[in-house]
């Protein structure tokens, strides 16, 4: 950056524009609603008058003589035929009308009151005091004045003014015209303005009723020429055209002495146009529309909301050196890498400042031109532009590359294309936590998509159903260093939210390692080699010899990716709920996963061991060996998992949910029993014999009872079904290992779908007294209120299907509502917290240095470095120490 700050803002004053001020600012009085003549030349005194600025090349500004990029644009003005109120000041006008006398214009306070309040207001200066405090005081005073119904100064009886939104004022039902309002505001003496928080030096209340309208420069509302040669005007220009037209017609009607009714209609129309010119979303009036039916974007709409000037152009900006494309998985990349398509890599550049040390290598890059490849056709980084010390950019082409490479000297900047090993930032929206943007090293790959390791899906919350992600090329050495040291994926493995790993194996990784280690199966040497060929291990598994042939245990194969010296003992997810002996393991010792010196001895690897959030092995490796080793483990672990599951094969289908005939009939019995019990409950209730539960009404009690019957029936049928679906069933494997789905989902498929609910209660809305016309009014039985007896496998009948859709919709609505609401909450939190910092004393301060918290989190602990929020994991430390001693 050159130049620095030339002018500093000393103060900001808020004032109202007076009609005289507007006329003084104005370069031209606009009187015609037309814009261009038939030759496409701006019409004089029209909305595109040359005095208002130029946007077309070749023309010169009639005010300053500047050409297109020199003239900043100039204001014009429209003299309105009749005054109209300014929507932005409606509240203030109402306060003025309420608190001042309709006859003499004084504030309706006694002289004594005025004297005492004036003293208070004089004690503060309008320009330096807290505007909020002035506002509160002014509100108190004006409220008091508004209460008075007889003027203390002239004794005139007052009439309540009612605001008929958005812009009409009425007194006893009779409209007060803007002209009358203006006259009343004019009568308010300067000295009384202070009580309204108005500075008499710069503002008069009657200026809130417009007689002159400022016309913004053309630069603010440029017209665009379509390919057809047709000119399309800006929304603001359209609105101004309307205003001038109506103003003219109003003036003519008034001068011709047209009937009062017509004049009033035109006046209202003028008010409408001026109101929508300011804000086209004013409550109470229909938005002004374009001929196509699209609502016009007027002044307020330009500023407000997500697409407004502030959030879209000032707080957020478009950036260079970035790319966006679809993402897809690549298990052979490290978690620290990102695959960038060649096409993107050729466009994205890193600036190299030439010095005596890199001169040779940089010249070599330039010599290669903009699209070099090696002898095998592999991508090599080229150069798109070179920048001379004076800032001139020179495009490098295959033709001029050789010559340009010789011109490059120390002090030049060369924009080199992306190459392997470059550090880049990778991001997926919504960026809800810091792991939403992490640093990766580049791998240039063929294809059109960004690719990354599946373990990194969790922090980005990404999947591959069409998700897109953004890539930013870091441009400065300091930034690259920071990205490498703190933003790299391996540095972000530990989540600051819960102090455990947020990166780990997912879906098939978990299934695969579960199958590899559960019951410790044996594999032939061939199988082992196939599996290990996916990994890049430091060790190879130990063989066991049987019948003269070498075999390998699943746990030993897994141990090949564990670092030496790792000692760990924990209960697997599979056995988490079992007490003494785990029902899923034949060896009681396998209840716990035991790893000694990097060798897995007992247990089954599942979600608890390697999953994101829970992954104990990842957690401990990270703490004992650091980020690099943890990343290495995740890389190898995921590749091993992919290797094994592609060797073994894994699939599930509807056949996996087959259960014997007797189980099906047992489930039918269960659902019938449930129906009987529901009917009995309803009968008891109808007889008035149902005992209400403490603190509940009889109706509530009935609902709770029925819900517990239906819930019980589903659980019961789930139990019956899963009795026939053991750990050999693929779906059960996925559910038990934590790879995907819950046992509940399996019992929905094989057993019974169960009760559908909305907001925690049975379905009850739809038709009068019933959910569907197929039921009798006031039928509160099972089926009528959404008890689905069928299973997904057997299929739902039409009524069940419909009721199930009602229940399913709740989930969809919830997510939609939740995301928008939590998004807004997040925005507010970020805005409140964005400039707080923790200093070296661990106290939290804002930018001024005001203390927010004396010690971060009250204990000064970085949750990332804590053991899931605790200081130490004693059990682990003891086990680790014991093993190391041996």
Partner 1 sequence: MGKFNVLQHDLVPEHHLVDAKEEQKILKELNVAKDLLPKISRNDPAVKALEEIHGPLENGRMIKIIRKSPTVGLSTYYRIVTGEVFK
Binding site for Zn ion (CB under 5 A): 61, 63-64, 66, 71, 101, 103-104, 151, 153-154
Nearest residue (CB) to partner 1, 655 versus 828: 828
Shortest reach from residue 43's CB to Zn ion, in Å: 18
Residue 843 interacts with which of Zn ion, partner 1, Mg ion, none, CB < 5 to 8 Å by class: partner 1
Taking residues 585 to 624 in sequence order and writing x for each that binds Mg ion by CB under 5 A, - otherwise, the string is ----------------------------------------
- Picking from 219, 213, 274, 245, the residue whose alpha carbon sits closest to that of residue 52 is 219
Nearest residue (CB) to Zn ion, 144 versus 873: 144
Residue 64 interacts with which of Mg ion, partner 1, Zn ion, none, CB < 5 to 8 Å by class: Zn ion
Task: Return the structure tokens found at 152.
Answer: 């203390």
Nearest residue (CB) to Mg ion, 463 versus 525: 463
Residue 101 interacts with which of Zn ion, partner 1, Mg ion, none, CB < 5 to 8 Å by class: Zn ion
Nearest residue (CB) to partner 1, 394 versus 861: 861
User: Alpha-carbon distance 482 to 488, whole Å?
Assistant: 9
Backbone angles phi, psi at 454, to 5 degrees: -65, -25
Nearest residue (CB) to partner 1, 769 versus 857: 857
Element housing 698 (H / E) = helix 698-723
C-alpha distances in Å from residue 731, one per residue of 138, 487, 607, 662, 819: 70, 37, 15, 21, 30
Transcribe 464-477 into DSSP letters. Answer: SSS-EEEEEE--SH
Residue 103 interacts with which of partner 1, Zn ion, Mg ion, none, CB < 5 to 8 Å by class: Zn ion
The DSSP secondary-structure symbol of 180 reads H
Give 792's contacts (C-beta < 8 A, 6+ positions apart): 748, 749, 753
Shortest reach from residue 51's CB to Zn ion, in Å: 8
Give the binding range for Mg ion (CB under 5 A) out of 148-156, 266-274, 460-468, 801-809: 460-468
Residue 61 interacts with which of Zn ion, partner 1, Mg ion, none, CB < 5 to 8 Å by class: Zn ion
Taking residues 640 to 679 in sequence order and writing x for each that binds Mg ion by CB under 5 A, - otherwise, the string is ----------------------------------------
Nearest residue (CB) to Mg ion, 358 versus 461: 461
User: Alpha-carbon distance 715 to 68, whole Å?
Assistant: 76
Nearest residue (CB) to partner 1, 65 versus 857: 857
Nearest residue (CB) to partner 1, 165 versus 865: 865
Q: In this structure, what is the dihedral angle of CA atoms 188, 189, 192, 193, given to the nearest 10 degrees?
A: 70
The count of residues in the chain is: 886
Residue 859 interacts with which of Zn ion, partner 1, Mg ion, none, CB < 5 to 8 Å by class: partner 1
Residue 153 interacts with which of Zn ion, Mg ion, partner 1, none, CB < 5 to 8 Å by class: Zn ion
Q: Write the secondary structure of 121-169 as one string of H (helix), E (strand) and C (coil).
A: HHHCCCCCCCHHHHHHHHHHHHHHHHHCCECCCCCCECCCEEEECCCEE
Shortest reach from residue 851's CB to partner 1, in Å: 6
Residue 849 interacts with which of Mg ion, partner 1, Zn ion, none, CB < 5 to 8 Å by class: partner 1
Residue 359 interacts with which of Zn ion, partner 1, Mg ion, none, CB < 5 to 8 Å by class: none
Shortest reach from residue 238's CB to Zn ion, in Å: 23
Residue 334 interacts with which of Zn ion, Mg ion, partner 1, none, CB < 5 to 8 Å by class: none
Nearest residue (CB) to partner 1, 533 versus 841: 841
- Picking from 619, 598, 328, the residue whose alpha carbon sits closest to that of residue 498 is 619
Cβ count within 10 A of residue 735? 20
Give the ranges where 188-259 is alpha helix by DSSP (H).
235-256
Element housing 382 (H / E) = none
Helix axes 698-723, 661-686, angle to 10 degrees: 170
* Cβ(450)–Cβ(325) below 8 Å: yes
Question: Strand, coil or helix: what is 880?
Answer: helix
- Picking from 305, 630, 362, the residue whose alpha carbon sits closest to that of residue 492 is 630
Lateral strand order in the sheet of 349-353: 349-353, 413-417, 383-387, 393-395
Q: Enumerate the β-bridge partners of residue 557.
A: none
Instruction: Give me Rg for the CA atoms of the chain.
Output: 38
Give 493's contacts (C-beta < 8 A, 6+ positions apart): 501, 502, 503, 618, 622, 627, 630, 631, 634
Shortest reach from residue 201's CB to Zn ion, in Å: 25
Residue 812 interacts with which of partner 1, Zn ion, Mg ion, none, CB < 5 to 8 Å by class: none
Element housing 319 (H / E) = none
Shortest reach from residue 809's CB to Zn ion, in Å: 59
Shortest reach from residue 169's CB to Zn ion, in Å: 18
Residue 219 interacts with which of partner 1, Mg ion, Zn ion, none, CB < 5 to 8 Å by class: none
Nearest residue (CB) to Mg ion, 465 versus 840: 465
Selected binder of Mg ion within 463, 564, 658, 672 (CB under 5 A):
463
Give the binding range for Mg ion (CB under 5 A) out of 293-301, 461-469, 625-633, 663-671: 461-469
Q: Residues interacting with partner 1, by CB under 8 A?
A: 133, 136, 841, 843, 845, 848-852, 854-855, 857-859, 861
Give 284's contacts (C-beta < 8 A, 6+ positions apart): 165, 166
Nearest residue (CB) to Mg ion, 471 versus 532: 471
Residue 864 interacts with which of Mg ion, partner 1, Zn ion, none, CB < 5 to 8 Å by class: none
Q: Enumerate the β-bridge partners of residue 568.
A: 595
**Which residue in the block uniquely carries the two structure tokens 């005091």?**
129
% helix, strand, coil for the chain, step of 5: 40, 15, 40
Give the ranges where 446-540 is alpha helix by DSSP (H).
457-460, 477-482, 508-517, 525-532
User: Binding-site residue total for Mg ion (CB under 5 A)?
Assistant: 3
Nearest residue (CB) to partner 1, 12 versus 851: 851
Q: Is 326 in the site for Mg ion (CB under 5 A)?
A: no
Nearest residue (CB) to partner 1, 644 versus 856: 856
Residue 465 interacts with which of Mg ion, Zn ion, partner 1, none, CB < 5 to 8 Å by class: Mg ion
Give 43's contacts (C-beta < 8 A, 6+ positions apart): 32, 34, 35, 36, 37, 49
Shortest reach from residue 427's CB to Mg ion, in Å: 15
Selected binder of Mg ion within 113, 467, 656, 673 (CB under 5 A):
467
Residue 162 interacts with which of Zn ion, Mg ion, partner 1, none, CB < 5 to 8 Å by class: none
User: Alpha-carbon distance 684 to 709, whole Å?
Assistant: 15
Residue 154 interacts with which of Mg ion, partner 1, Zn ion, none, CB < 5 to 8 Å by class: Zn ion
* Cβ(873)–Cβ(867) below 8 Å: yes
Selected binder of Mg ion within 38, 465, 526, 840 (CB under 5 A):
465
Nearest residue (CB) to Zn ion, 28 versus 844: 28
Nearest residue (CB) to partner 1, 160 versus 837: 837
Backbone angles phi, psi at 415, to 5 degrees: -90, 95
Residue 467 interacts with which of Mg ion, partner 1, Zn ion, none, CB < 5 to 8 Å by class: Mg ion
Nearest residue (CB) to partner 1, 809 versus 855: 855
User: Alpha-carbon distance 795 to 801, whole Å?
Assistant: 9
Shortest reach from residue 462's CB to Mg ion, in Å: 7
- Picking from 245, 227, 190, 325, the residue whose alpha carbon sits closest to that of residue 78 is 245
Shortest reach from residue 98's CB to Zn ion, in Å: 14
* Cβ(408)–Cβ(353) below 8 Å: no
Nearest residue (CB) to partner 1, 852 versus 881: 852
Shortest reach from residue 500's CB to partner 1, in Å: 17
Binding-site ranges for Mg ion (CB under 5 A): 463, 465, 467
């Amino acid at each position: 950056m050159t130049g620095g700050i030339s002018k500093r803002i000393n103060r900001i004053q808020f004032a109202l524009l007076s009609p005289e001020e507007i006329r003084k600012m104005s370069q031209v009085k606009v009187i015609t609603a037309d814009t261009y003549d038939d030759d496409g030349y701006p019409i004089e005194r029209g909305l595109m008058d040359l005095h208002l600025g130029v946007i077309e090349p070749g023309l010169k500004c009639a005010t300053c003589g500047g050409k297109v990029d020199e003239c900043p644009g100039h204001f014009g003005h429209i003299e309105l035929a009749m005054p109209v109120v300014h929507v932005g000041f409606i509240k203030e006008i109402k306060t003025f009308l309420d608190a001042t006398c309709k006859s003499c214009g004084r504030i309706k306070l006694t002289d004594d009151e005025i004297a005492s309040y004036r003293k208070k207001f004089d004690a503060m200066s309008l320009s330096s005091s807290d505007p909020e405090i002035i506002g509160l005081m002014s509100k108190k005073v004006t409220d008091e004045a508004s209460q008075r119904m007889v003027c203390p100064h002239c004794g005139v009886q007052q009439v309540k003014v009612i605001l008929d939104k958005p812009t009409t004022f009425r007194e006893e039902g009779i409209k007060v015209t803007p002209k009358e309002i203006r006259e009343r505001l004019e009568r308010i003496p300067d000295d009384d303005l202070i009580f309204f928080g108005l500075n008499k030096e710069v503002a008069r209340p009657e200026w809130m009723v417009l007689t002159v309208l400022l016309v913004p420069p053309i630069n603010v509302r440029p017209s665009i020429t379509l390919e057809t040669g047709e000119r399309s005007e800006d929304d603001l220009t359209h609105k101004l055209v309307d205003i001038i037209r109506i103003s003219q017609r109003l003036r003519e009607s008034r001068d011709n002495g047209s009937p009062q009714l017509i004049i009033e209609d035109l006046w209202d129309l003028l008010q409408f146009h001026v109101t929508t010119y300011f804000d086209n979303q004013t409550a109470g009036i229909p938005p002004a529309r374009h001929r196509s039916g699209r609502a016009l974007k007027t002044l307020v709409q330009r500023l407000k909301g997500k697409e407004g000037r502030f959030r879209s152009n000032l707080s957020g900006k478009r950036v260079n050196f970035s790319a966006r494309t679809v993402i897809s998985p690549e298990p052979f990349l490290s978690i620290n890498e990102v695959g960038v398509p060649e096409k993107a890599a050729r466009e994205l550049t890193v600036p190299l400042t030439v010095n005596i040390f890199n001169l040779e290598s940089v010249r070599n890059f330039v010599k290669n031109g903009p699209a070099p490849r090696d002898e095998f056709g592999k991508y090599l980084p080229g150069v798109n532009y070179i920048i001379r010390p004076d800032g001139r950019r020179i495009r490098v082409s295959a033709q001029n590359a050789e010559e340009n490479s010789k011109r490059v000297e120390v002090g030049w900047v060369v924009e080199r294309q992306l190459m392997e090993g470059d550090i880049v930032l990778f991001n997926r929206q919504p960026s809800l936590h810091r792991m939403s943007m992490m640093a990766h090293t580049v791998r240039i790959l063929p294809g059109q998509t960004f690719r990354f390791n599946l373990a990194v899906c969790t922090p980005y919350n990404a999947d591959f159903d069409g998700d897109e992600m953004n890539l930013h090329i870091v441009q400065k050495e300091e930034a690259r260093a920071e990205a490498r040291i703190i933003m790299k994926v391996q540095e972000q493995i530990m989540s600051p939210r819960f102090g455990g790993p947020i990166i780990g194996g997912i879906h098939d990784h978990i299934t695969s390692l579960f199958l590899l280690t559960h019951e410790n199966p044996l594999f032939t040497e061939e199988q082992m080699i196939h599996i290990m060929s996916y990994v890049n291990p430091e060790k190879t598994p130990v063989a066991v010899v049987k019948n003269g042939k070498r075999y390998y245990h699943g746990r030993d194969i897994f141990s090949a990716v564990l670092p030496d010296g790792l000692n760990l003992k924990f209960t697997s997810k599979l056995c988490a709920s079992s007490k003494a002996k785990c029902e899923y393991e034949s060896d009681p010792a396998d209840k716990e996963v035991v790893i000694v010196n990097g060798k897995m001895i007992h247990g089954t690897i599942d979600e608890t061991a390697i999953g994101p959030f829970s992954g104990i092995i990842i957690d401990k490796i990270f703490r004992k060996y650091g980020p690099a080793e943890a990343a290495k483990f995740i890389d190898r672990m995921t590749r091993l998992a992919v290797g094994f599951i592609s060797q073994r094969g894994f699939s599930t289908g509807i056949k996996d949910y087959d259960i014997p005939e007797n189980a099906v009939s047992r489930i039918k019995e269960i659902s019938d029993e449930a129906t009987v019990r529901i009917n009995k409950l309803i009968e008891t209730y109808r007889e008035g014999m149902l005992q209400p539960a403490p603190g509940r009404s009889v109706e509530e009690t009935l609902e709770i009872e029925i819900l517990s019957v239906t819930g019980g029936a589903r659980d019961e049928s789930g139990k019956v079904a899963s009795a026939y679906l053991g750990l050999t069933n693929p779906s059960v494997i996925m559910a038990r290992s934590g790879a995907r789905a819950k046992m509940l989902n399996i019992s929905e498929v094989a057993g019974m779908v169960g009760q559908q609910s909305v907001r925690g209660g049975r379905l009850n809305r739809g038709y009068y007294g019933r959910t569907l016309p197929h039921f009798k009014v006031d039928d509160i039985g099972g089926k009528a209120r959404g008890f689905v007896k069928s299973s997904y496998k057997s299929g739902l009948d039409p009524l069940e299907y419909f009721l199930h859709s009602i229940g399913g919709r709740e989930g969809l609505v919830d997510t939609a509502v939740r995301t928008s609401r939590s998004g807004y909450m997040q925005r507010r939190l970020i805005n409140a917290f964005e400039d707080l910092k923790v200093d070296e004393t661990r106290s939290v301060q804002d930018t001024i240095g005001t203390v927010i918290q004396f010690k971060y989190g009250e204990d000064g602990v970085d949750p990332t470095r804590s053991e899931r929020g605790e200081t130490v994991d004693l059990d682990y430390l003891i086990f680790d120490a014991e093993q190391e001693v041996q």
